[in-house]
Amino acid sequence: MIKLGLIGCGVMGKAHLAGIASLGNRVVVSAFADTDAERAGKFAAGTPGAVWDTDYHKILNSADAFILAVPHDLHYEMVLTCLKAGKHVLVEKPLALTEKECLSLIELDSSPDPVLTVGHVLHHDPIWQKMGEFIKGKAFGEVFQLSIWTEQLTDLSRGAWIGRADKLGGGQLFSHGCHYIDLMLDWLGEPVFGCHIGTNLGTPWMEREGTSNVSIKFASGAIGYHMGTWGARGSSHGYSVHAHCTEGMLELSSRKGTISFHRDPSGGDIPAMTKEEAKISPSETVLYKADKSVGKHVAEQLEAFLQCIEQKKKPEISAKLAIRSLRVIWALYDAENKGTLADLRGI
């Protein structure tokens, strides 16, 4: 049985604890750490036999593997300490705050002994996986425009660190957008150039951008667009994806938990459907329906982490993979500061 320690008992710590409950007796939560004694104590009180401390160093000997769900500026030092102590690590995204820090963790990474994996949770969520399969498999032809919207309200109720650029490593794009830049790279391949425009208008609690617009041109010719905001006071999009393909449009709606295919049967100025196609697909066909809520597939992510530990497998979401989206974001930020386009070739 694997002994698991949880460092950071905030919003994501809670989500991880709930996810662990579904993993049965392969794992036991043996230790908690949080600088907020009340939070750590409360988590431990609900977990028989678990120890807790406000200093994570003091619980290092109480577990084989650690989940790190703490502010981003702490990721580097905590991953380093845990790996040096021979502990398996699942660190929430982003891996670390700078390229130098990420590279030194990549160098130290000897997965699967011990395992180091990064919490890009959407890779473990069936609806996002299915969307990726449709796009990469060219199920409806070539994608020429991929648009991703993530509209939510994230204010300082989570903790003051969320608004601070030095603790977050940037703004909304770095913190949350990294999930979607990562998916774009996976789905559309090699990026060529791109730009970012951000603002904190509407999210004055954010030192850097709370709303972010990214456009990237890919080597295939496709354009990827991402709009993420932490200032939405209302939204019909929620988290949505439109993939315009040469044979129609794919839509992922996290609100509905569906992936739909749209094609205008009347033709218009696009090729009309054949009668057979129109029978199958009037104008919108639901291709996929999620069987549970979309978004927090931490249990599936933990399952993948456990399998790597138990079967001595290298993790799919390695430190080396996780640095790619961050490199794109750093290049986009840099170009935004200079007022130019970012050269993304070779990233």
Ligand X SMILES: NC(=O)c1ccc[n+]([C@@H]2O[C@H](COP(=O)([O-])OP(=O)(O)OC[C@H]3O[C@@H](n4cnc5c(N)ncnc54)[C@H](O)[C@@H]3O)[C@@H](O)[C@H]2O)c1
Contact flag: residue 8 with ligand X (CB under 6 A): yes
- Find the part of the chain contacting ligand X (CB under 6 A) among 27-35, 205-213, 260-268, 322-330: 27-35
CB of 229 or CB of 260, closer to ligand X:
229
DSSP code of residue 231: B
CB of 211 or CB of 301, closer to ligand X:
301
CA dihedral 99, 218, 173, 252 (to 10 degrees): -130
CB of 50 or CB of 287, closer to ligand X:
50
Q: Can you tell me the distance from the alpha carbon of 79 to that of 103, in angstroms, rounded to the nearest whole number?
A: 13
Are 30 and 49 in contact by the 8 Å Cβ rule? The answer is yes
Q: How far is the CB of 324 from ligand X (least distance, A)?
A: 17
Structure tokens belonging to residue 24: 């049965």
Q: How far is the CB of 154 from ligand X (least distance, A)?
A: 8
Structure tokens belonging to residue 198: 């951000």
CB of 92 or CB of 336, closer to ligand X:
92
Contact flag: residue 208 with ligand X (CB under 6 A): no
Q: Can you tell me the distance from the alpha carbon of 17 to that of 340, in angstroms, rounded to the nearest whole number?
A: 44
CA dihedral 62, 67, 68, 69 (to 10 degrees): -120
Q: Is 221 helix (H, G, I), strand (E, B) or coil?
A: coil
Strands (E) located in the chain: 2-7, 27-33, 51-53, 65-68, 88-92, 116-119, 143-151, 191-199, 211-218, 223-229, 239-245, 248-253, 258-262, 284-289, 342-343
CB of 37 or CB of 219, closer to ligand X:
37
Structure tokens belonging to residue 324: 């790619």
Residue from 1, 11, 18, 165 binding ligand X (CB under 6 A): 11
Residue from 39, 196, 226, 244 binding ligand X (CB under 6 A): 39
Binding-residue total with ligand X (CB under 6 A)? 25
Q: How far is the CB of 298 from ligand X (least distance, A)?
A: 8
Ranges within 162-191 binding ligand X (CB under 6 A): 175
Residue from 4, 5, 6, 7 binding ligand X (CB under 6 A): 7
- Which of 52, 41, 116, 51 minimizes the C-alpha distance to 85? 116
Contact flag: residue 151 with ligand X (CB under 6 A): no
CB of 8 or CB of 170, closer to ligand X:
8
Q: Can you tell me the distance from the alpha carbon of 93 to that of 110, in angstroms, rounded to the nearest whole number?
A: 19
Q: How far is the CB of 38 from ligand X (least distance, A)?
A: 10
- In degrees and rounded to multiples of 5, residue 28 shows phi and psi of -130, 135
- In degrees and rounded to multiples of 5, residue 194 shows phi and psi of -170, 175
Residue from 20, 27, 33, 89 binding ligand X (CB under 6 A): 33
Contact flag: residue 6 with ligand X (CB under 6 A): no
- Find the part of the chain contacting ligand X (CB under 6 A) among 3-11, 254-262, 311-319, 339-347: 3-11
Contact flag: residue 72 with ligand X (CB under 6 A): yes
The 3-class secondary structure across 18-62, one letter per residue, is HHHHHHHHHEEEEEEECCCHHHHHHHHHCCCCCEEECCHHHHHHH
Contact flag: residue 119 with ligand X (CB under 6 A): yes
Contact flag: residue 116 with ligand X (CB under 6 A): no
Position closest to ligand X via CB: 10
Contact flag: residue 56 with ligand X (CB under 6 A): yes
Residues near ligand X (CB under 6 A)? 7-13, 33-36, 39, 56, 69-72, 74, 92-93, 119, 121, 158-159, 175
